[in-house]
Structure 1
Amino acid sequence: MTRETVYLDHNAASPLRPEARAALLAGLELTGNPSSVHAHGRALRNLIETGRQQVARLAGAEPKQVVFTGSATEAITQAIVGGAKAFAAGAVAFSAGEHAAVGKAAEATGLPHWTIGLDADGRIDLDQLAAVLRRADDENVALLVAVHWVNNETGVVQPIERINALVGPTRHTLFVDAVQALGKLPLEFAASAPDMMAVSGHKIGAPAGIGALLVKAHADVVRLIPGGGQEQGRRGGTESAALIAAFGAAADATHYDNATMSAMTAALEAGLKHLAPGTVVFGEHASRIGNVTNFAVPGLGNATAMMALDLMGLSVSSGSACSSGKVGASHVLAAMGVPRDLANCALRVSFGWNSTPTDVDAFLAGFETLLSRQKRGGKAA
């Protein structure tokens, strides 16, 4: 008999939407190569272009601005490694709270890194960003600036309009990691300042293995995989029409209800503070996306807590899922000045398209059991 579980890790990956599953299976039934000119190829090409239109619509982009990639990490790497080369960048500037993919891509450029700090609530320090831009101008260095819109661990929404106002009018290149923002905030890419944005399918209910880099016309020169000219020469390799169709179907099905998500998160945080008055919510005083909370109960280590909750059928995380199963202190919380012993207690709960208020009740019931065991001095699991 399969144990019933409650999935509370949508920021890592959201369950496959029925619409995306149907589109994926239909695409897998087709034969051929989308670059072929015969009827089989044209059928696959039609799936790709329909998917491109659907993703563009959700992102507020023009279809021709959507470059499909194998993942958001690939899109990020194309933007940073390919962008640094295309725009002759002399340095890469990024915040201390970026996804690990940004730091790794910056390393791969071989260029100097200029880091922008976070404040105690996880917001990018705009004064430091302004200082970095002034330094670049003083030293005549072309910058590639990489910032995230929504932090994947804390849900903190960055002041993107002010970032756009600082970087947009300059000669420097701006790349935005919008992976956690797609479908939750109006990206309006076509009318916005960033030169490039990365988005991902599996955060909105598409399968893993499909992402996209959104590019303005002047960023068409950004390359990572030359290949055989696919994606208008911007990303080589035969496209997966089935995955793209599933991404498009998920994009069409995405109707984010921030009020409902925020209400569930507020109920969860209120319940936590009732059960454990010392609960700390990270980024609590900043603007946050409604579907996620990152919190800690001092003295309750996240490795122990996650194991215990998993045995109760509650799937949560300690932060980014891209650390190969590692559980420990977060670089995001460290950048916010959170003491290591408290950061080692951090847990992330994130909701998505199929979450309900009963999931909150189930989590709080499980967490109450966990705290009771801890108080009795017994094992947490």
Structure 2
Amino acid sequence: MARQTVYLDHNAASPLRPEARAALLDALEFAGNPSSVHGHGRALRNVIETGRQKVARLCGAETRQVVFTGSATEAITQAITGGVKALSASAIAISAGEHAAAAKAAEATGLPIWTVGLDSDGRIDLDQLAAVLARADAESVTLLVAVHWVNNETGVIQPIERINAMVGPTRHTLFIDAVQALGKLPLDFAASAPDMMAVSGHKIGAPSGIGALLVKAHADTVRLIPGGGQEQGRRGGTESAALIAAFGAAAEACTYDMGRLAEITSRLETGIRALAADAVIFGQGANRTGNVTNFAVPGLGNATAMMALDLMGLSVSSGSACSSGKVGASHVLAAMGVPKDLANCALRVSFGWNSTMGDAEAFLVGLENLLSRQRRDGKAA
């Protein structure tokens, strides 16, 4: 197996930051349980609360609004399945482009699901959202509205301010999946409309296994895991001080260097178009984060392409890491109206904190080799 030399899948998980590694190892030296009242326990509690402050700062949240979870999926599930019970929702409104974690959590509630579509560039259809809200009011239905801020497959930034303005003043609950927005866009949870928001550590260079749900005071009864009163009674189970410390360190080290990443992405997309004039870049008409390109070259199947690129030492994906290994086209691209045969050619290249222009150049060399081979084989056939 070829040694992986160029990592181009930051939207799945970003490599561990040195600061996070150091904080993780330091915290592992502490003995005890953070819920214990003796000195060892208090020392661990201090590690956790320091990490909470750092994560809160990056999220624009109050420290007490941060509930640590074992992953973003857990945070999303707590918000949706716990939220409908605690906040008496009778239906869920969810966009057609949501991550599987949100879609599956919505299904698990057993409540009616009202789906809001996407336009051809992957933006949430605000007219449909308005119609859903009007229908709910007409039918006296209380909604939990669950939408993502940034799409994990395309990098499309949703019109979150308009969504906030539409849902925030209503009697309905608004939950935002901000997993792909953290570290890329300024978050101001405390002063914004959402009642709850989910974030994840491994998207910004913390280890996997740590996420957080941000919760406003009026939604503080949302629960998923009962237990011994940890996280102010909002999520049972002994906290991992080491993972929380690493999350906090990654949050503290996180800078909004999206301008630099946008330059790398721009070079990538220019190079893709030069190599394949018929290449399609999904969501190119929308506002995107600038660190990800989801594209397709007609006739170049993504399963074959990913294997070939992997052998060249280039790690890319075909979309969500939670579904890339499964048969079937992306539900996000399907919601955008992309034909299935083209969606089955989709490749996602995403950059992060340690990406360089050389990474983009390396991918373009690999893509050129792949396309040359495809054309050569096509002529031979």
After TM superposition, the score normalised by the length of structure 1 is 0.98
Corresponding residue of 1:359: 359
Cα deviation, residue 219, structure 1: 1.1
Q: CA deviation at 1:2?
A: 7.6
After TM superposition, list the pairs within 5 Å mapping 1:191-206 onto structure 2: 191-206=191-206
Q: What is the CA deviation profile of residues 276-320 of structure 1, one whole-angstrom value per residue up to 9, with x for unaligned ones?
A: 000000000000001001000000000000000000000000000
Structure 2 counterpart of 1:36, which letter? S
Deviations along 1:76-133, one digit per CA (max 9) or x if unpaired, are 0000000000111100100000000011100111100000000000000000000000
Look up the equivalent residue of 2:331 and give its one-letter code: H
1:276 match: 276
Partner residue of 2:88?
Answer: 88
Preserved contact between residue 303 and residue 327 of structure 1 (Cα < 8 Å): no
Q: Distance in 2 between matches of 1:320 and 1:2?
A: 23
What are structure 1's unaligned runs of at least 5 residues? none
| Distance of 2:2 and 2:126 partners within structure 1 | 50
The alpha-carbon deviation at position 223 of structure 1 amounts to 0.2
The alignment of Structure 1 onto Structure 2 pairs a total of residues equal to 379
Matches within 5 A, 1:145-164: 145-164=145-164
Maintained 8 Å contact 2:2/2:312: no
Whole-Å Cα distance in 2 between the matches of residues 376 and 186 of structure 1?
47
C-alpha distance in 1 between matches for 2:112 and 2:38: 48
Q: Which amino acid aligns with 2:343?
A: A
- Pairs within 5 Å for 1:32-111: 32-111=32-111
The residue number in structure 1 matching 2:142 is: 142
Percent of pairs with identical residues = 82
Q: Which amino acid aligns with 1:86?
A: A
Q: Residue in 1 aligned with 2:244?
A: 244
1:327 positional shift: 5.2
Indicate if the aligned counterparts of 1:5 and 1:314 stay in contact, CA closer than 8 A. Answer: yes
Does 1:210 find its partner at 2:210?
A: yes
Equivalent residues of 1:94, 1:145 under 8 A apart? yes
- Measured after TM superposition, the shift of residue 325 of structure 1 is 2.1
| CA distance, structure 1, for counterparts of residue 117 and residue 224 of structure 2 | 28
Q: Deviations over 1:119-157 (max 9, x none)?
A: 000000000000000000000010000000000000000
2:4/2:314 contact within 8 Å kept: no
Detail structure 1 runs of 4+ shifted over 3 Å in the superposition: none
RMSD: 1.2
Instruction: Give 1:363 shift.
Output: 0.4
3-state SS of paired residue (1:221): coil
Residue 256 of structure 2 aligns with an amino acid whose one-letter code is Y
Distance in 2 of aligned mates of 1:4 and 1:190: 41
Counterpart AA for 2:144: L
Q: Which residue identity is paired with 1:88?
A: S
- Per the alignment, residue 305 of structure 2 pairs with 305
Q: Which residue identity is paired with 1:354?
A: N
Q: Tell me how far 1:4 sits from its aligned partner.
A: 5.0
| CA distance in 2: counterparts of 1:220 and 1:228, whole angstroms | 17
Provide the rounded CA distance (Å) in 2 between the counterparts of 1:286 and 1:324.
24
**Once the two structures are superposed, what CA deviation does each residue of 1:209-231 show, in whole Å capped at 9, x if it has no partner?**
00000000011100000111100
CA distance in structure 2 between the partners assigned to 1:92 and 1:85 by the alignment:
12
Preserved CA contact (<8 Å) 1:318 1:328: no
Alpha-carbon distance between aligned partners in 1 of 2:132 and 2:247, rounded to the nearest angstrom: 37
Residue pair 2:17, 2:206 contacting (<8 A) in 1 also: yes
SS of the residue corresponding to residue 220 of structure 2 reads: helix
Inter-partner Cα distance in structure 1 for 2:279 and 2:339: 14
Deviation of residue 232 (structure 1)? 0.3
Shift, 1:5, TM fit: 1.0
Q: Distance in 2 between matches of 1:39 and 1:378?
A: 70
> 5+ unaligned residues in a row in structure 2: which ranges?
none
